[in-house]
Structure 1
Amino acid sequence: MIVYCLLTEVTAVVLTLRPYPVAVDRRTALILVALLVLGVLQSETGRRVERIRRRVSGTPHINMTSVWTFAGVLLLPPLLLWVLVCGLYAHLAIRSWYRLQRVPASRTISNAAIILLSCYAAQAVLRVSGLSDIRSTLGHSWAGTFAVAAAGATFFVVNALLVLPARREIGRTPEALFGTWSDNGLEVATLCLGALNALALATLPGLVVLVLPPLLLLHRTVLVKQLEVAAHRDEKTGLYNTNGWHSLAERTLATASRQHSTFGLLMLDLDHFKQVNDTYGHLPGDAVLRAVAEAIIAAVRGRGDAVGRFGGEEFVVLLPGIAHPDIGAAAERIRRAISALTVPVGQLSITGLSVSIGMAIYPTAGTSLQRLLDAADTALYHAKATGRNKVVHVADLV
């Protein structure tokens, strides 16, 4: 990951310093100043919102800089585009992210380099279409429109792909890899605003300030959505908390009842977890919980399955549309995955973990969510009472 980040940074510098046939005139320099000033103003105005978004974000973080950087793609030569990106990201790092330990300086530099490469890729698409900037598109009607749209799409795709190898942890689901539909919708929205910014600066520069009010409102709206999501997540593991999981399970129950389909529940409890806390301490215990959560997520099917933490060392899994043979296979995958875990704790490693699992299927085990949970819990208790580290289906107890 470090080698990849260094390569992207060196590539960005080399591409920035390559000869470019367009001279920097006074108007272009003023456009750079306008984009920098407006970007800093927007960042300062939304600084508190950005900090909170960073703290609660559990997926790839989408910031609002594309409004200004994509406008720079359509208006500035590479050297001035480099100044714009570096200026915006330096300001964000110093004013919005400096207190957040998850955003070290090296990460900010890597992010800026990837944004620059995305900008240069978008500019290359624009030049391939025979156009140099947005001013040259004005006389080409639909051809110019398609060229700008293609540049924006290139920026979006290249940025999404380049950032993956630069991440310390790469998720296993599309949401963990590329963010949610809302996150990507935000990026598309900022690119659209960036194109309108460039058009305003190329024709009626005074209109560019009109983008600030809707941009600030969009920023705050995105924060509200992130806080709503965070309210349904367990802080230690990132899984659904009790309220979030119950809400999702009730919707699944209503759908299954309406469509006459099935779904399964798994209740899981780590065996002898108190010994882990007593032996290693609570912080290593939290590390074990996170590792177990990741192991469960990796072991489920991923299409609609929902994993929650009910507190302590107890977890619950929702498996929509699953039949009797398949739920046992899913539970066994989880049990084996947890048994194989090795959790590093300083210079030591925690191994030998195990889990007891109780299973229940709708509607066989019950037609209400509470009945299903009670049934799965009964099966879990039986697994605990008969030796632990096993899977028990409630149907086997009848």
Structure 2
Amino acid sequence: MTSVWTLAGVLLLPPAFAAALTAILYAHLAIRSWYRLQRVPAFRTVSNACIIMLCCYTAALVMCVGGAPDLVTAIDRGWTGTATVVLALVVYFVVNALLVLPARDRIGRTLVDLFGGWADNALEFATLCLGTLNALALASQPGLALLVIPPLLILHRAVLVRQLEAAAKRDAKTGAFNLVGWHSLAERVLARAERESTSFGVLMVDLDHFKSINDTFGHLNGDLVLKAVASTIQATVRDHNDAVGRFGGEEFVVLLPDISHADIHVVAERIRKAVDDIELELDSNTVLNSLSVSIGTAMYPTAGTALQRLLDAADAALYRAKAAGRNRVVHTPTSQAS
């Protein structure tokens, strides 16, 4: 929501003052976040502030090149000034989206993974539009800027609701979907597969000998292992289409929409090998490099046409993998469909 104020700063203040405004806003944000959460890394706030400062300078450059260094001049220039302001807004939006990419933990492979969905971008664009209206109000009649606050609060509330909804579907320990969140996604994928006559796959992934890890290194280190395995699985599958869930304990489930029988084996083996390659430093300064998983697979519709049937089939294949010696992938026979 800071764009409402930083873009207004670009349109009303010299670039250096707009940068100073950004620094003040993010300093306040850092203090408030630290006071409430005490877990937001300082480098993240500094990085975000620097990105916004660069956006401000770029948008200010567009205004200067367009012959309207501030909003008052843009208003005097009529439609040409209006076009300059709109272009500055668009440049601010684009530069922001591009500069964020190198700061991310993982860079996706699709446009949605890279830049977010339509709802995310529409929200950002809406805050920039409010920033422009805020600047217009401040330039003409400062008291009218108060009218920007109600829609800003509504937008902020909408963002918080979305974040709470997302948090309610996530496992707090691993960041993967919880049982409710994963089932909700899987039901939608099943409905689409029935409607469009497509296929999808389900993987049941179980961490081998997890009890001995807890017994040997303690439950806190066991939590680190679970988080590392969940992160590894999530990094191995597709960022946007696939969904990794935790079904409790050391068992994970992976939803693979639009996948073939041949490809599900490739994905399962890639997950197994990725977990096998994990080297995790525990709190006791011990490096754990002997992790493995057993995986059972099931394909819709050949292994079942109901979600629970697919889960049961993948779970049965998982137990066959564990009975056969663990650290392997076992597929559900196609004859088990029902």
TM-score (norm 2): 0.92
Counterpart residue identity of residue 264, structure 1: G
Are positions 1:73 and 2:10 aligned together? yes
Aligned to 1:391: 329
Quote the offset at 1:306 in angstroms: 1.1
Kept after mapping to 1: 8 A contact 2:205/2:252: yes
Q: 1:241 to 1:103 in 2, by over 3 A?
A: same
Quote the offset at 1:269 in angstroms: 0.5
Counterpart residue identity of residue 212, structure 1: I
Quote the offset at 1:165 in angstroms: 3.8
Distance 1:351 1:98 in 2: 38
Counterpart residue identity of residue 374, structure 1: D
Moved more, 230-239 or 73-82: 73-82
Counterpart residue identity of residue 17, structure 2: L
Q: How does 1:306-321 map to 2 (within 5 A)?
A: 306-321=243-258
Q: 1:145 to 1:184 in 2, by over 3 A?
A: same
Distance 2:139 2:177 in 1: 48
Counterpart residue identity of residue 122, structure 1: A
Q: 1:397 to 1:284 in 2, by over 3 A?
A: farther
| 3-state SS, counterpart of residue 172 of structure 2 | coil
Kept after mapping to 2: 8 A contact 1:172/1:298: no
Q: Which of 148, 153, 156 is residue 85 of structure 2 equivalent to?
A: 148
Counterpart residue identity of residue 152, structure 1: L
| 3-state SS, counterpart of residue 357 of structure 1 | strand
Q: Which of 355, 358, 362 is residue 296 of structure 2 equivalent to?
A: 358
Q: Any idea what the Cα deviations from partners look like across 1:133-174, whole Å, max 9, x if unmatched? A: 11111133332222112211222222233344445x345466
Distance 1:291 1:216 in 2: 37
Distance 1:268 1:345 in 2: 22
Q: How does 1:294-309 map to 2 (within 5 A)?
A: 294-309=231-246
Q: 1:265 to 1:107 in 2, by over 3 A?
A: closer
Distance 1:127 1:203 in 2: 21
Distance 2:260 2:45 in 1: 47
Counterpart residue identity of residue 268, structure 1: V
| 3-state SS, counterpart of residue 98 of structure 1 | helix
Distance 1:331 1:360 in 2: 11
Distance 1:93 1:173 in 2: 31
Kept after mapping to 1: 8 A contact 2:297/2:314: yes
Quote the offset at 1:204 in angstroms: 2.6
Q: How does 1:107-146 map to 2 (within 5 A)?
A: 107-146=44-83
Quote the offset at 1:298 in angstroms: 2.0
Are positions 1:93 and 2:30 aligned together? yes
Aligned to 2:286: 348
Moved more, 94-103 or 315-324: 94-103
Identity %: 63
Aligned to 1:379: 317
Quote the offset at 1:103 in angstroms: 2.5
Are positions 1:272 and 2:228 aligned together? no
Distance 1:145 1:219 in 2: 27
Quote the offset at 1:351 in angstroms: 0.9
Kept after mapping to 1: 8 A contact 2:205/2:295: yes
Q: Which of 367, 377, 380 is residue 305 of structure 2 equivalent to?
A: 367
Q: 1:121 to 1:343 in 2, by over 3 A?
A: same
Are positions 1:333 and 2:264 aligned together? no
| 3-state SS, counterpart of residue 318 of structure 2 | helix
Distance 2:307 2:14 in 1: 60
Quote the offset at 1:210 in angstroms: 0.3
Quote the offset at 1:121 in angstroms: 0.8
Counterpart residue identity of residue 301, structure 1: R
Moved more, 66-75 or 170-179: 170-179
Distance 2:292 2:187 in 1: 29
Counterpart residue identity of residue 392, structure 1: V
| 3-state SS, counterpart of residue 275 of structure 2 | helix
Q: Any idea what the Cα deviations from partners look like across 1:232-291, whole Å, max 9, x if unmatched? A: 111111111101111111111111111111111111101101111111111221111111
Are positions 1:221 and 2:161 aligned together? no
Q: List structure 1 segments (4+ residues) > 4 angstroms apart after TM superposition.
A: 171-181
Distance 2:319 2:211 in 1: 17
Distance 1:176 1:363 in 2: 28
Are positions 1:231 and 2:155 aligned together? no
Aligned to 1:186: 123
TM-score (norm 1): 0.79
Kept after mapping to 2: 8 A contact 1:306/1:317: yes
Are positions 1:261 and 2:219 aligned together? no
Structure 1 gap segments, 5+ residues each: 1-63
Q: Any idea what the Cα deviations from partners look like across 1:4-23, whole Å, max 9, x if unmatched? A: xxxxxxxxxxxxxxxxxxxx
Distance 1:172 1:222 in 2: 23
| 3-state SS, counterpart of residue 266 of structure 2 | helix
Kept after mapping to 2: 8 A contact 1:170/1:176: no
Distance 2:109 2:231 in 1: 11
